[in-house]
């Protein structure tokens, strides 16, 4: 009786299977981005980690798709050295325990998904909100000075604008550090949650370009 033999996986298929698993996981993470922290913690049997922001998930999806296209191209060209190098890199990344860090996107699978958590959340959204009890009546106050009201509104607008600009600047610094081109930043940042439209992002990038480039260069230098 011949000895049992496990057929070898064709060249490059290990990487393609791993990429497919990663991309499926990232699609699940994109779905979970709308969950509350409580629901997110129970939708999968997660290891300890810091919940990834939606923009990080979106960037990871783009990078995984780009790598999948590159693998298919190199596989069609018969570039075995490139495919073997990627397989070794994936093996070493797991062996070195990259998931020991808390800031990573843990692997999510359809098999481990808790559908009851998603169903529970959907049911809560569909249920009508009960009327909240009215607060006790407050004593009448003296009418506010129109000038002071205008000043407070203007101050609030400036604060919100400052926060938005800080978010866009931080996003741009991170994306540049990850190798993104300047001309692609406005579209990438505008797709992130709680970010302004692309036109406003372009304005912020244009006004703060020198500051962003200095911070990105400093971050790259510090990581070396």
Residue-wise pLDDT for 189-208, tens only, equals: 888 877 888 899 999 999 99
Out of 126, 141, 176, a domain closes at 126
CB 168 within 8 A of CB 196: yes
Q: Same domain for 208 and 119?
A: no
- Tell me the average pLDDT across 129-158: 50
Range of the domain at 21: 13-126
Nearest to 52 by CA among 102, 115, 113, 94: 102
What confidence score (pLDDT) does residue 190 get? 86
What total of structural domains would you count in the chain? 2
Q: Same domain for 120 and 179?
A: no
Q: Same domain for 17 and 93?
A: yes
* Main-chain dihedrals φ then ψ at residue 206, nearest 5 degrees: -65, -45
The residues, any chain, with a CB within 8 Å of residue 84's CB and separated by 6 or more, are 11
pLDDT band for 160, please (50, 70, 90 cuts).
Answer: low
Instruction: Output the pTM of the full model.
Output: 0.47
SS3 content of the chain, % helix, strand, coil (to 5): 65, 0, 35
């Amino acid at each position: 009786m011949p000895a049992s033999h496990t057929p070898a996986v064709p060249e490059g298929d290990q990487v393609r299977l791993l990429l497919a698993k990663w991309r499926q996981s990232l699609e699940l993470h994109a779905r979970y981005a709308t969950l509350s922290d409580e629901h997110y913690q129970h939708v999968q049997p997660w290891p300890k980690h810091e919940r990834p922001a939606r923009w990080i998930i979106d960037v990871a999806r783009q990078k995984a798709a780009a790598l999948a296209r590159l693998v298919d191209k190199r596989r069609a060209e018969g570039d075995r050295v490139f495919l073997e190098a990627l397989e070794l890199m994936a093996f070493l990344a797991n062996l070195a325990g990259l998931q020991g860090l808390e800031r990573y996107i843990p692997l999510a699978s359809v098999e481990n998904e808790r559908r009851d958590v998603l169903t529970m959340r959907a049911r809560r959204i569909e249920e009508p909100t009960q009327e909240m009890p009215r607060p006790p009546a407050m004593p009448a106050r003296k009418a506010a000075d129109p000038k002071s009201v205008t000043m407070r509104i203007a101050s609030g607008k400036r604060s919100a604008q400052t926060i938005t600009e800080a978010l866009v600047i931080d996003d741009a610094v991170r994306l540049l550090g990850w190798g993104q081109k300047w001309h692609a930043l406005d579209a990438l940042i505008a797709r992130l949650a709680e970010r302004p439209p692309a036109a406003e992002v372009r304005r912020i990038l244009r006004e703060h370009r020198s500051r962003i480039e200095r911070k990105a260069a400093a971050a790259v230098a510090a990581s070396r």
